[in-house]
Amino acid sequence: MEQTDLRVPAQAAVRPATPSQRAVRAARNGGEPTLEFTERVPYDTYVQASTLHRLQQPLSDDPGEMSFLMVSQIMELYFGLTCHELRDAQRLLRADRVWDALAPLRRATLHLEGLNAAWKGLRWMTPADFNRFRNLLGEGSGFQSAMYRHLEFLLGLRDETLIRPFRRQSDVYADLRATLAAPSLWDDVLALLARHGHDLPADLLDREFTAEHQPHAAVEAAWVRIYAEPGPENHLRMLGEALTEVAEQFGDWRQHHVKAVQRTMGAKVGSGGSAGLAWLQRSMARVVFPELWSARTAM
């Protein structure tokens, strides 16, 4: 395949414009869009669209491979965007700004909905379709997505062994290790509950964050108490519902992943060395924000 030049063009500055400047421009154009620019089109300067559209380098001439490649790239962008929102929510929760933290959590839910919708772009793919280019992928696998690992770690799904594939990529590895060593969103929520008077054991709050959180009866009891007060001033209850939406949408993405694998390759072994479908199905047993779900039995 012909190789594409991926060098990023020189970054021009995005020039701010005031409402009055926009009004003058619209009057000058007679209400029509501006068609002449002295430099790079401002939209491309900001969005970097011309760069994005040079990032697809399929390995075959099969037309369906472009769908597989681009949907994978779209998912990567959504992983990063969701991580951005969850980190903003963490920052606000650490400052006890529970109401303000609801906004990035709601945005994260919407981004996860978009992530789930991306699977529809691959529903056409049968095993025969995938097999036409699968061998060219070698050992390449979604299992090796560093940004997906950041997302899992932020949501509290933690397994230190999963960063080992990135040891030869020092920057990527260092970033993953930093996320793994820092509190997850759920850890920050538990710290918040403790600051708001809920009696949680010290070993839950002061622990080694690289280890995955284990469900605890005290956390479940705290959520039962929180949900017992349905009033509009109960921001912790609103937080619980916002977190539940995030967990549900993420769980839907994992389930869509399982179904996509079943649809395109059945129970064949995975490209990255795993058992494929069986490995994914086992991973589904790990629950995001577990006490938010188990507490519902006692509500």
Residue 130 CA, chain-centre distance (Å), reads 25
Extract long-range pairs of 36-43: CB within 8 Å, 24+ residues apart.
Answer: 39/12, 40/9, 40/12, 42/14, 42/15
Residue 206 CA, chain-centre distance (Å), reads 26
Contact 271, 141 (CB under 8 A): yes
Q: Is 53 annotated as a binding residue?
A: no
Contact 150, 180 (CB under 8 A): no
| 234 vs 228: CA distance, rounded Å | 10
Closest CA to 294 of 230, 187, 221, 241: 221
| 276 vs 285: CA distance, rounded Å | 15
Enter the DSSP assignment of 119.
G
Q: The tokens of 9 are what?
A: 């063009």
Q: Is 198 annotated as a binding residue?
A: no
Residue pointed to by tokens 């619209």? 26
Give the residue numbers of the binding site for heme: 257
Give the residue numbers of the binding site for substrate: 134
Give the residue numbers of the binding site: 134, 257
